[in-house]
Amino acid sequence: MEFQHTSVLLEETVFSLRIKPDGIYVDGTLGGGGHSFRICEQLSEKGQLIGIDQDDAAIEAAGRCLQAHKDKVTIVRSNYCNMKQCLQDLGIDRVDGILLDLGVSSYQLDTAERGFTYRVDAPLDMRMDRRQTLTARDIVNDYGEMELFRIIRDYGEDRFAKNIAKHIVQARAQKPIETTNELTEIIKHSIPAKVRMTGGHPAKRTFQAIRIELNKELEVLEHTLDEMIDLLNAGGRISIITFHSLEDRIVKSNFRKNENPCTCPREFPVCVCGKKSKGKIITRKPILPSEEELEQNSRSKSAKLRVFERGSEEEG
C-alpha cells in the first residue's frame, strides 16, 4: 500500500516555525513528508531540512515526496530521541526550528498487517520501527496482570483497565492471543454492554495503551524535550502536534518549566536557585484544527499544536 498521510494543522504548524530561507529545520517525525515539503518550499538553496523517522515505509514515501527538494533535504532513519546525535553526525550544532507530529500516521493505521488498528484483523504488531523485536503480541501474552492493568489505566485512561487486564490473562491461559480481532473480542467482553453502546470503540483505549508502551512514546517525548530546546538557535522554535491528553500534558508542562524554571519559594524577593529561562511559550492555549479541517480529516479531531521559542543566552 502506498504511504498516504494527511498532514494535520499543516499551514498553522509551518507558519508557527517562522521559516528563515537560509535556516536549518528538523522534522523529527517525517512521516510522508507533508510538513517537510511545505517547509522546503520556503527554503533557499542554502536552507536545509533534516527529516527523521524510524518507519522504513515513511522514509521511502518521504523520499519520493521530497524528490523535488532533494538538494536541501537529508533523511535519517532513526527515532527523534537521537536527534542530537543525528545532527552531530551531519556537523550541525544548532537549528532554527524543530517540528514533531506525534501519534500514528494514517498509513500505519490503514495498513492492516501493521496491527495498529482494531478495525481490521491482523497479527498483533504495532511496531513503529520494524527493526525492533518486541511486538504488541509479546506485551499482550507476556506482561503480568498488574503490568497490563497499569499500562491500560495510565496510557489508555480506561476505567475498565482492571477488568480488561484480568480477561486478557484468563484468555491467554487457554491459548496465546495472536490477532487484533482476538484481543478486541476479549476487550468487548470486559466492558459492560451498556457502556459499549456509547463513547467510541471499546478497544480504542487499550490499543492506544499497548502501542504507547511498545514504542515508549511518552518516555521518548519526556526525556527528549529539554535536549531539543537546547538544540535551537536564539529565536528558533519547536512546534509539537499532540493527539491525546497524555502527550499534551507532557509538552505543556515542559514548556512551562523551560519558560519559568525558578524553584525559589514565592516569598523570596529575588531568585537564588540560579535556574534560568530558556525562552517563552508562544501558544498560551493550543492551536486547534479549523472547522474546515475537522470536516475534511476526521483524524485531526484531537490534534493540538503548542509552540515554544528559544531565548538568547543573555536573556536567560
CA atoms within 13 A on the CB side of 200: 7
Q: Which amino acid is at 71?
A: D
Which DSSP string do the residues of 178-232 spell out, in sequence order?
-BHHHHHHHHHHHS-HHHHTSSS-TTHHHHHHHHHHHHTHHHHHHHHHHHHHHTE
Q: What number is the average pLDDT over the span 141-150?
A: 98
Q: What number is the average pLDDT over the span 263-289?
A: 93
Instruction: Tally the residues of the chain.
Output: 316
pLDDT of 106 reads: 73
For 55-166, strand residue ranges (E) read: 73-77, 95-101
pTM of the model: 0.92
pLDDT of 234 reads: 98
Write the DSSP symbol of residue 287: B
Superfamily of chain region 132-215: Putative methyltransferase TM0872, insert domain (1.10.150.170)
Enumerate the domain spans of the chain: 10-107+217-310, 132-215
Q: What is the mean pLDDT of the chain?
A: 94
pLDDT of 208 reads: 95
Hey, what's the torsion of the CAs at 194, 195, 200, 202, to 10 degrees? Answer: -110
Note whether 102 and 32 are within 8 A (CB). Answer: no
Q: For 10-107+217-310, which CATH class?
A: alpha beta
Q: Which amino acid is at 187?
A: I
CA atoms within 13 A on the CB side of 53: 27
Q: What number is the average pLDDT over the span 50-77?
A: 95
Give the closest residue to 24 by CA, choosing from 225, 230, 233: 233
pLDDT of 316 reads: 47
Strand partners, 126: none
Residue 166 has pLDDT above 90, yes or no: yes
Residue 108 has pLDDT above 90, yes or no: no
CA atoms within 13 A on the CB side of 287: 20
Rg (CA), the chain: 21
Note whether 115 and 125 are within 8 A (CB). Answer: yes
Note whether 109 and 88 are within 8 A (CB). Answer: no
247 three-class SS:
helix
CA atoms within 13 A on the CB side of 241: 29
123 three-class SS:
strand
Residues 6+ apart with CB under 8 A from 193: none
pLDDT of 1 reads: 46
Note the pLDDT tens digit of each residue in 215-256: 999 999 999 999 999 999 999 999 999 999 999 999 999 999
Note whether 95 and 25 are within 8 A (CB). Answer: yes
Q: Which of 15-24, 98-107, 181-190, 220-229 has the lowest mean pLDDT?
A: 98-107
Note the pLDDT tens digit of each residue in 35-49: 999 999 999 999 999
Note the pLDDT tens digit of each residue in 190-226: 999 888 877 789 999 999 999 999 999 999 999 999 9
Selected residue with higher pLDDT from 108 and 164: 164
Residue 174 has pLDDT above 80, yes or no: yes
* Helices 180-190/161-174 angle, 10° precision: 130
Give the closest residue to 185 by CA, choosing from 201, 198, 208: 201
For the chain, strand residue ranges (E) read: 24-27, 48-53, 73-77, 95-101, 232-242, 279-281, 304-310
